[in-house]
Structures are given as C-alpha cells and as structure tokens.
Amino acid sequence: LMGLIHCILTESPKPVVNVESNTPVFRGESVTFRCDINGGGDTEWTYEWFKDNSPVSSSHTTQRITVEYDGGKYTCRGMRRSDYQYSQMSDPVTLSVS
C-alpha cells in the first residue's frame, strides 16, 4: 500500500532588533532594544536575547530588554508559544558605548 503524505513547509520569520533609545550611548546610560517579528501571525511569542552569541539572562523572555553600559552585538529570536517553533536569529545590532 502506498500512502499520500501532505507536507507544508513554511519559512520561519526573521526578527529585527530595533533600538528604542537615543544613540550614541554614554557611560552610565541605558539603552532599550525591541525584538520585532513580522510575518509571525497573531500568535504570541517568547523571546530570547543574546549578547555576543551568548544567552542573556533567561529571565529576559520579553520583547524588550534594557541594558546599561554594556557594549557588544545583540541579537534575538522568538519561540511561538502555540507550537514551540523558533524564529530565525535576528541580524546583530552593535551597541558601542562612549
């Protein structure tokens, strides 16, 4: 017997990291990043943040993260709560602190 398999492939959305604070950032100031996922539908996401490819504290599962005087490359990705699928990793945003 031969069966028919129906498969739908969808590309994971790619988030974009946006800076919500003024740049440049000076010593003692903080900056807020926002992880935006377009094309992700109306589903809810949890977020993971990375600095220089290392996870930032696991408590940062929100869309925004605020950091103080901590230069580096920041990226994010999302996990859809409904099916536990991950988005792609965002392109890095470099924070330079003066």
Residues whose CB is less than 8 angstroms from the CB of residue 24 and which lie 6 or more positions away in sequence, other chains included: 96, 97, 98
* 38/12 Cα distance (integer angstroms): 10
Domain ranges of the chain: 16-95
- Across-strand partners of 32? 66
Residue 97 pLDDT > 80, yes or no?
no
- Burial of 49 from C-beta contacts in 10 A (0-12 / 13-18 / 19+): buried
Residue-wise pLDDT tens digits, 34-93 = 999 886 655 688 899 999 999 987 555 778 888 876 788 999 999 888 888 899 999 999
Following DSSP, what letter does each residue of 31-89 receive, concatenated? EEEEEE-TT-TT--EEEEEEETTEE--TT--SSEEEEES--EEEEEEEEETTT--B-PP
* Residue 6 confidence class, pLDDT cut points 50, 70, 90: low
Amino acid 28: pLDDT:
78
- At the fourth CATH level, which superfamily is domain 16-95? Immunoglobulins (2.60.40.10)
Mean pLDDT within 17-37? 82
Amino acid 89: pLDDT:
96
Amino acid 19: pLDDT:
86
Amino acid 74: pLDDT:
92
CB 12 within 8 A of CB 86: yes
